[in-house]
A and B are shown apart, each in its own frame.
Chain A
Amino acid sequence: MDLSTQYLGLALKNPIVASSSPLTWELDSALALQQAGAAALIMPSLFEEQIEHEQAQLDRFIHQQSIGHSETDSFHPQLNDYMDYQNKYLNRLKLLKSELDIPLIASLNGISEGGWVQNAQELEEAGADALELNIYYVAANPSETSQQVEQRYIDVFSAIKQRINIPVGVKLTHQFSSIISMVKQLEQAGAAGVSLFNRFYQPDIDLETLQIVPRLELSRSSETLLRIRWIAMLRSHLQLSLAITGGMHTAEDSIKGLLAGADITCMCSALIENGPQHISRVLEQMSLWMMDKEYESVQQLKGSLSYQHAINPAAYERANYLEILDNCSSASGVLV
């Protein structure tokens, strides 16, 4: 059985990639993932916000700590040589790269154009095989149009693409009015692939304190459905690599993703719940299913149910249940 595939121009031995999680940060678990058959690893995101926060904190409490009291010019020893979050990330990237045989994809989550470019270059220098840009912009400004929001994504991507040579993919949110057009613009700007869709911390309300608290829960298989639709639609229109991520728990989930047109399926919550060994089980079940259905290779099944190739492609376009009802035409000869 040939499970090989390609993603962001990287040749992968199979379509199961371990996506950003604590498992892809620690060396022991990363090695276990490789051992279990993961085709590639995507590191946890380097968060530009965290870099900013850390620098602001050090600036406030270390570099600028004086209060002007005659006995107290400062409170903390000055830090001269210190390891910051960004450096720690780069060191970890180098370590993983040196210990792993499978491709390593760095991930970058940022907010400002300047910061993104500089960070991306450093990730490339540290040895990342590819880069995933994890962009999530909350359009909270009432005067900003959706077009401007989209342009922001394109600008950020383009700035980075111009400065680095490794392939760059973009992990997207589903909150676009026109996802296909959006991805198309990214492809034209040089994106090697897109990953659909990101799951972010969402604000929740704590009923005890009435505070707004960020929350992130592990995904469920049911979340794959939204992704399958858009993978299937995109596959028919675009050539760039597609990754399906968010809700990929079982071999069945992965197979559906591939059928819809994904080049890889990314797993995270399932690995956290079941451990790295889960990948080998998924791969085994995937092979069994393919054997059962007489598929020879992943290449063969990829996109075989895309919008273009689906038996009933219109179903991908249907928006809601009412529409489905409306489409139920009466059998001939029956009076309504």
Chain B
Amino acid sequence: MPKENSSITIDGNQAAASIAHLCNEVIAIYPITPASPMGEWADEWSSRGQKNLWGTVPEVIEMQSEGGAAGAIHGALQAGALTTTFTASQGLLLMLPNMYKIAGELTPAVFHIAARSLACQALSIFGDHSDVMSARATGFAMLASNSPQEVLDMALIAQAASLQSRIPVLHFFDGFRTSHELSRLDNIELQTVRAMINDDLVSEFRARALSPEIPVLRGSSQNPDVFFQARESVNPYYQKMPGIVQQVMDQFASLSGRQYRLFEYLGHPQAERIIILMGSGAETAHETVEFLNSQGHKVGLLKVRLYRPLDVQSLLKVIPLSVKSIAVLDRTKEPGSAGEPLYKDVVTAFAEQLSGENPLFEQMPKIVGGRYGLSSKEFTPGMVVSIFDMLSQQPKNNFTIGIHDDVSFSSLAWDDSFRTDANKLTFQAMFYGLGSDGTVSANKNSIKIIGESTDLKAQGYFVYDSKKSGAVTVSHLRFGPSVIRSTYLIGNNDANFVACHQSVFLQRFNMLDKASDNAVFLLNSALPADRVWGSLPAKMQQQCIDKKIQLYVIDAYDVAAKTGMGKRINTIMQTCFFAISGVLPQQQAIESIKDAVVKSYGKRGQRIVDKNFKAIDETLDCLQQVKLVDKVSSGFDIRLPVSADAPHFVQQVTAQIIAGHGDSLPVSAFPADGTYPTGTASYEKRNLALEIPVWEKELCSQCGKCPLVCPHAAIRSKIFSEKELTNAPQNFLSVPMKGKGFPEGAHISYQVAPEDCTGCGLCVDICPIRDKTNASRKALNMQPVKPLLEQEKENWAFYLQLPDFDRAELKTNTLKGAMVLQPLFEFSGACSGCGETPYIKLASQLFGDRMLVANATGCSSIYGGNLPTTPWTKNADGRGPAWNNSLFEDNAEFGLGMRVAADKHKQQAIELLQGLRAQLDSDLVDSIINADESSEAGISEQRVRVKSLNAKLAVLKSAEAKLLSQLSQYLCRLSVWIIGGDGWAYDIGYGGLDHVLASGRNVNILVLDTEVYSNTGGQTSKATPRGAVAKFSSGGKPTAKKDLALLAMDYENVYVAHVAYGAKDVQTLHTFIEAEAHDGPSIIIAYSPCIAHGVDLSNNHRQQQLAVNSGHWPLFRFDPGKIKQGQNPLQLDSKKPAIAYRDYIMTETRFNMLWHTHPQNAEKFLQQAQQEVDHRYHYYQQLSELDWDDQTTLKSARSRLGEAKETTGDV
């Protein structure tokens, strides 16, 4: 609930959610970036018992998809509850069918949309209007907010106008730029909300609810005789809507003092050139127009707020009659259309009035349409100026601004260095931090401090990383006396303050490009002040001299360690900022930081408060100014993003994106269909590890566990002939192979990729071998990377060029053998210690050279396919997994489609083979058709046969031969993998998954079960266990985890398994081999510890063991192939729960935090969960012990179990 008579510092999402929560009774939600925080706020407030306007706590319900949410909303609205939701992008698309119904039935409701790109050539989580534009035919009104302040205000205006008009409203604002921009806002008083929401209208809405007391029928089906007329019956409502919205805006103005209009013109009253647009870009245009007019120009801006229903008369009325040319900007693209939507609407408006009676304008101005800002592309004052220049020179239709289009030549050039005077009095600061070092949270805190203790306006915008380990964040903060309309990043030479929170960034980013003259540069470095200058790259030294930079240094990690703060440096760096930036008087700032610390931790966190206080005081003592030297002394510079021997595309495109120069790449640099090379992650050397594993070859038993568990494929094993060692680097390690079955002189090496390791330590954790004389020394030990780096880089390079061992000769059903296979999934950006990636990597080792991957949206699609690089790679023959991500909801169907296509191709290839038998070698044809590809050797032989076939086909000229040469690859065994998380498999994609399981087709489904929606920030899924606290289950999930395996076993020919590699690695290995070999659908449900469990991932293996030993994650394999052999298909691979369920869950914050908040629930859920794990094991055990000698099916076995239960009363 908003505080009264106050200003607040919140972001756009929180602003929308606060009004939505206050004005609704039911809130149906589903997570999707960047709208998820709105649902999270609503859920949090309801779980805390926060009430709405009518004194009751809104019911927040998470659905299985946005489609489900829309259905629930429709139902709730029909049953008379004021209902809302929050979504974006593809989520909005899933709601469209219901939106037509909701609007068609004239139902008041507001949907809040953090507008985001739609996935096309690629997914993008960033902001534009392509999603909301797809909803413009639904009948929803569309109201745009341009800033967090407007989001707050317009959310209320939308609610009031919808109630009055009966037309539902899509309230939208730009994803990230507005949804995530932290801003100091004038709050809305509670009385204002009360006054704006008319209870009579609410009563009327309720009176229209479906009720058996006054039964009616709605949602009829209509025939050609009446549908059309009935559809036209709503017109009067739409005609009234703009007037209602303006009236509500006027009422709001009288209550709050903030006046809005449907179409707001600002600029010169006799402007000849104007720009029309909506969304956050309008604020930048506003700032620029004001500046240009102050310089004597005559330009104007029209901000569109109510986009649907479009009130043409109101729109035209505010445009100066002097206008000669208009640029209409759309933040969306409609390929193939005559223009984007807003442009076409404006053209239509002018055409309509000019062709009508008494036109306002004497003649049609020149109107051009252009695209800007797709996927949060920057939109700056320089670009606005460029558009005005274009209008005054040669208006260009269908233009683009913000990119360099060297393919269609649509783009306008702009002056990057153009500045308005808006930020003359603004303090602009930038901070480079690691995601994990708390830089962003400290900056949010600083903004709140300044917002609350001064009259300054404040703005914070945060640029995050697409990597999860070692994520870099860049914070852009502005503080100033006037309204801040700069909805663009801080530009070159603009920052008064630049902070580098990690000294490793010095060689990665040219941070001082951003610094203004005389700016303060704060560096966190372990070096003493007199050695800091030498650590700056030459270019930065030159910039320091040229710009007269004031350089300050602090050893924040040292202060943190000395004051008991561990590795947390956020408070320390925040203190430095206030101490030297001069934004606030130092004493006042320090007190405010301390107040904020107390607020964060409260009375109970006194110790942490004390430590923070100590750190703050110590910081002031340790912060030092570095005297600048007037000469560049460094012999090094910012390092190249990729090595010089990388392929052309990687050099020209990938490297630029890695270096942060993606904005400067022209259109021609990009593949038009979104196809990218694999194997690029290996060029992006991230050097994240502080320690790397060191192999003690004498101790090693060659068990293969370390390469198995490595989440980043950064430790490998390879078997090779001793002869290969001739040119080995001096320190390269290898030992003769132990055991039989390997050629004479075979050596094995375990080698780390030192620049790709993230230092998680899991390889050392799993290593079972200890030195007999020193138990703390294992066959692998973590050692500081610095002294080892160069040597290990050389060793790694040597290792890579060693030939791979022949796959056909390896026993891949042993870990030792399987782990010699080359991983074709390496160095992903997943979290350090990720519990998912070892499974994907294992699949890539076993089947990668013949793998097609359908990947559901989620963590695995982000670390798998988020540019700049991909971890999916290929082997020395150029073979490797081919990968695609369709959507979140359709992944099973997507993968099935791949299988169907491959099978169809194979079938046709065989038909063609038989047809061409006479012209080909008949033995070859038969051996290809009857090939046994059940082993690596068989697969390899078939490849040789197909190669020979292709050679023969090459000389045949027939159409059949040509066709067969295209399809012959499908004669080799393909492995189709459908990979995704639990959110996909258990919730949004379950319908499709179910269908694919029932299809009987040979696909392999890998469910990476983290038991929450990990990628969007830990929201509850149906895989979340009972009693776990997750977002949308703040009070602990009250229902049990869905048993997906049991549901899958219900089908007749599905291979089903539960695995946890950290608990039983060989079972995991065998499962993957069996699942892939199974001729039918197989589903592997893989337990994947995640940072969202609230446990340090260095304990990943321990958590897997606890999950298995407590019965939470029983290990089993259900192989329907065994039924044919008269065997029971179900094999239990883990023992009866050996430890109490409590002993498992108390180790994870997701569970144990419930004892802090809802202790009684926590105990209740624990009791229930304990019974469930016992019962489930008992149930599976009985299933696994059933007699399968006769022709028994699982169904009949179950019915027999049911009978047993009736007779004994116990199962």
Q: Please, how many angstroms separate the alpha-carbon atoms of A61 and B1096 in the complex?
A: 9
A72 CB contact (under 8 Å) in B441, B1015, B1149, B1155: B1015
CB distance from A210 to the nearest CB of B (A): 5
Inter-chain contact B1031/A76, CB cutoff 8 Å: yes
Q: Please, how many angstroms separate the alpha-carbon atoms of A88 and B1094 in the complex?
A: 22
A61 CB contact (under 8 Å) in B125, B1017, B1149: B1149
Inter-chain contact A86/B468, CB cutoff 8 Å: no
CB distance from B483 to the nearest CB of A (A): 26
Q: Please, how many angstroms separate the alpha-carbon atoms of A62 and B1091 in the complex?
A: 12
- Which residues of A are found within 8 Å of B44, using beta-carbon distances? 77-78
- Which residues of B are found within 8 Å of A80, using beta-carbon distances? 48
Given the interface contacts A68-B434, A69-B468, does A75 sit within 8 Å of B1017 by beta carbon?
A: yes
A292 close to B (CB within 8 Å): no
Inter-chain contact B1156/A55, CB cutoff 8 Å: no
- Which residues of B are found within 8 Å of A57, using beta-carbon distances? 1094, 1149
B1138 close to A (CB within 8 Å): no
| Chain B minimum-CB-distance residue to A73 | B1017
Q: Please, how many angstroms separate the alpha-carbon atoms of A58 and B1150 in the complex?
A: 11
B604 CB contact (under 8 Å) in A74, A87, A114: A87
Q: DSSP class of B's interface residues: helix, strand, loop or mixed?
A: mixed
Inter-chain contact A83/B1156, CB cutoff 8 Å: yes
Which stretch of B381-389, B605-613, B843-851, B1163-1171 is in the interface?
A: B605-613
B608 CB contact (under 8 Å) in A55, A69, A75, A81: A55
CB distance from B223 to the nearest CB of A (A): 47
Q: Please, how many angstroms separate the alpha-carbon atoms of A249 and B600 in the complex?
A: 48
Inter-chain contact A69/B435, CB cutoff 8 Å: yes
Given the interface contacts A67-B436, A69-B466, A71-B125, does A210 sit within 8 Å of B775 by beta carbon?
A: yes
Given the interface contacts A62-B1149, A68-B435, does A79 sit within 8 Å of B468 by beta carbon?
A: no
B33 close to A (CB within 8 Å): yes
B710 close to A (CB within 8 Å): no
A64 CB contact (under 8 Å) in B438, B468, B607, B1015: B438
CB distance from A273 to the nearest CB of B (A): 21
Q: Please, how many angstroms separate the alpha-carbon atoms of A58 and B602 in the complex?
A: 12
| Chain B minimum-CB-distance residue to A48 | B607
Inter-chain contact B600/A72, CB cutoff 8 Å: no
A59 CB contact (under 8 Å) in B435, B605, B1015: B605
Residue among B1029, B1034, B1091, B1153 with max Cβ neighbours from chain A (10 Å): B1153
B831 close to A (CB within 8 Å): yes
B467 close to A (CB within 8 Å): yes
Inter-chain contact B1149/A76, CB cutoff 8 Å: yes
| Chain A minimum-CB-distance residue to B1157 | A82
- Which residues of A are found within 8 Å of B1014, using beta-carbon distances? 72, 75
Residues 25 to 62 of chain B near chain A (Cβ within 8 Å): 33-34, 36-37, 40, 43-44, 47-48
Q: Please, how many angstroms separate the alpha-carbon atoms of A82 and B176 in the complex?
A: 31
Q: Contact string, B179-221, partner A, CB cutoff 8 A, digits 1/0?
A: 0000000000000000000000000000000000000000000
A2 close to B (CB within 8 Å): no
B473 CB contact (under 8 Å) in A68, A78, A79: A68
Inter-chain contact B831/A66, CB cutoff 8 Å: no
Q: Contact string, B1139-1159, partner A, CB cutoff 8 A, digits 1/0?
A: 000000000011001011101
Inter-chain contact B465/A66, CB cutoff 8 Å: no
Interface magnitude class on chain A: 35 or more
CB distance from B1158 to the nearest CB of A (A): 9
Residues 67 to 109 of chain A near chain B (Cβ within 8 Å): 67-84, 86-88
CB distance from B371 to the nearest CB of A (A): 23
- Which residues of B are found within 8 Å of A74, using beta-carbon distances? 1017-1018
Given the interface contacts A76-B1092, A76-B1094, A78-B44, does A69 sit within 8 Å of B467 by beta carbon?
A: yes
Q: Please, how many angstroms separate the alpha-carbon atoms of A170 and B1015 in the complex?
A: 52
Inter-chain contact A68/B436, CB cutoff 8 Å: yes
A222 close to B (CB within 8 Å): no
B1092 CB contact (under 8 Å) in A51, A60, A75, A210: A75
B600 CB contact (under 8 Å) in A52, A63, A210: A63
- Which residues of B are found within 8 Å of A148, using beta-carbon distances? none
| Chain A minimum-CB-distance residue to B126 | A70
Inter-chain contact A77/B40, CB cutoff 8 Å: yes
- Which residues of B are found within 8 Å of A63, using beta-carbon distances? 600-601
Given the interface contacts A77-B47, A80-B48, A118-B606, does A68 sit within 8 Å of B1153 by beta carbon?
A: no
- Which residues of B are found within 8 Å of A67, using beta-carbon distances? 435-436, 468, 471, 831, 1091
Inter-chain contact A83/B1157, CB cutoff 8 Å: yes
Inter-chain contact B47/A114, CB cutoff 8 Å: no
Residues 853 to 904 of chain B near chain A (Cβ within 8 Å): 862
Q: Please, how many angstroms separate the alpha-carbon atoms of A115 and B609 in the complex?
A: 12
- Which residues of A are found within 8 Å of B568, using beta-carbon distances? 59, 64
- Which residues of A are found within 8 Å of B1015, using beta-carbon distances? 71-72
Residues 412 to 445 of chain B near chain A (Cβ within 8 Å): 433-436, 438-441
Inter-chain contact A210/B770, CB cutoff 8 Å: yes
Q: Contact string, B553-596, partner A, CB cutoff 8 A, digits 1/0?
A: 00000000000001010100000000000000000000000000
Q: Please, how many angstroms separate the alpha-carbon atoms of A210 and B778 in the complex?
A: 12
B1030 close to A (CB within 8 Å): yes
B996 close to A (CB within 8 Å): no
- Which residues of B are found within 8 Å of A55, using beta-carbon distances? 604-605, 607-608
- Which residues of A are found within 8 Å of B36, using beta-carbon distances? 71
CB distance from B109 to the nearest CB of A (A): 26
Residue among B441, B466, B570 with max Cβ neighbours from chain A (10 Å): B441
Inter-chain contact B604/A71, CB cutoff 8 Å: no
Inter-chain contact A72/B604, CB cutoff 8 Å: no
Q: Please, how many angstroms separate the alpha-carbon atoms of A88 and B1158 in the complex?
A: 12
| Chain A minimum-CB-distance residue to B570 | A64
| Chain A minimum-CB-distance residue to B466 | A70
| Chain B minimum-CB-distance residue to A78 | B44
Residues 967 to 1025 of chain B near chain A (Cβ within 8 Å): 1012, 1014-1018
| Chain A minimum-CB-distance residue to B829 | A69
B464 close to A (CB within 8 Å): yes
B315 close to A (CB within 8 Å): no
CB distance from A208 to the nearest CB of B (A): 12
Inter-chain contact A70/B434, CB cutoff 8 Å: no
- Which residues of B are found within 8 Å of A62, using beta-carbon distances? 1094, 1149, 1153
Inter-chain contact A76/B464, CB cutoff 8 Å: no
Q: Please, how many angstroms separate the alpha-carbon atoms of A63 and B600 in the complex?
A: 8
Inter-chain contact B441/A76, CB cutoff 8 Å: no
Given the interface contacts A76-B1018, A76-B1092, does A70 sit within 8 Å of B607 by beta carbon?
A: no
B19 close to A (CB within 8 Å): no
Inter-chain contact B1018/A66, CB cutoff 8 Å: no
Q: Please, how many angstroms separate the alpha-carbon atoms of A51 and B1156 in the complex?
A: 13
Q: Please, how many angstroms separate the alpha-carbon atoms of A69 and B37 in the complex?
A: 14
Q: Please, how many angstroms separate the alpha-carbon atoms of A231 and B436 in the complex?
A: 55
- Which residues of A are found within 8 Å of B176, using beta-carbon distances? 70
CB distance from B1142 to the nearest CB of A (A): 14
Inter-chain contact B1030/A76, CB cutoff 8 Å: yes
Residue among A60, A75, A78 with max Cβ neighbours from chain B (10 Å): A75
CB distance from B441 to the nearest CB of A (A): 6
- Which residues of A are found within 8 Å of B40, using beta-carbon distances? 77
Given the interface contacts A68-B440, A68-B464, A81-B1157, does A75 sit within 8 Å of B125 by beta carbon?
A: no
CB distance from A41 to the nearest CB of B (A): 22
A84 CB contact (under 8 Å) in B570, B604, B1034: B604
B472 close to A (CB within 8 Å): yes
| Chain A minimum-CB-distance residue to B1090 | A75
Inter-chain contact A82/B441, CB cutoff 8 Å: no
Q: What are the nearest 6 A-B pairs in CB distance?
A: A68-B435, A70-B464, A68-B471, A75-B1018, A82-B1156, A75-B1092
Q: Can you pick out 21 interface pairs between chain A and chain B where the beta carbons lie within 8 Å of each other?
A: A57-B1094, A61-B1149, A61-B1153, A64-B441, A66-B435, A67-B436, A68-B473, A70-B176, A71-B33, A71-B36, A71-B1015, A72-B1014, A73-B37, A73-B1017, A76-B1149, A76-B1153, A77-B1029, A78-B44, A82-B1153, A82-B1156, A115-B607
Given A59-B605, A62-B1149, A69-B471, 8 new contacts (CB under 8 A):
A61-B1153, A64-B438, A71-B1015, A72-B468, A73-B37, A74-B1018, A77-B43, A88-B1159
